[in-house]
Amino acid sequence: DGGITQSPKYLFRKEGQNVTLSCEQNLNHDAMYWYRQDPGQGLRLIYYSQIVNDFQKGDIAEGYSVSREKKESFPLTVTSAQKNPTAFYLCASSIVSTVTGFLNTEAFFGQGTRLTVV
């Protein structure tokens, strides 16, 4: 089955630690995204990548880092510099039109990782 997989589903982090959230897709999508969702809030974009070995900061990139070494994988590291990391993290992927560069189709989301600082 094609899809996008996030792991783990739940993650606990001690203050001062870095943690890495995994996101893998087998949809052959070029674009991948990381969003953060806080209770009662919409999704805020952390980082996105449209091609291997390239990524851009979103609206709230401070305290986070990513890599895109393979098309299928886009891991997110929550560093100790992120002061309020407790949140629900969502990864998504999509096709980007090679003609327009626009995101003209739907985004597919993983089931999310709930990160809690203890």
Partner 1 sequence: SQQGEEDPQALSIQEGENATMNCSYKTSINNLQWYRQNSGRGLVHLILIRSNEREKHSGRLRVTLDTSKKSSSLLITASRAADTASYFCATERGNRLAFGKGNQVVVIP
Cβ proximity to partner 1: between 17 and 111 the closer is: 111
Decide if residue 61 touches partner 1 (CB under 8 A): no
The alpha carbon of residue 7 and the mean position of all alpha carbons in its chain are separated, in whole angstroms, by: 11
Strands 10-13 and 113-117: parallel
Burial pattern 18-43, b for ≥16 Cβ within 10 A else e, equals ebebbbbbeeebebbbbbbeeeeeeb
Q: What is the pattern of x (binds partner 1, CB under 8 A) and - over residues 79-98? A: ---------x-x-x---x--
**C-beta separation of 54 from 66 below 8 A:** no
Cβ proximity to partner 1: between 44 and 71 the closer is: 44
Decide if residue 33 touches partner 1 (CB under 8 A): yes
Binding site for partner 1 (CB under 8 A): 6, 31, 33, 35, 40-45, 48, 50, 58, 88, 90, 92, 96, 100-112, 114
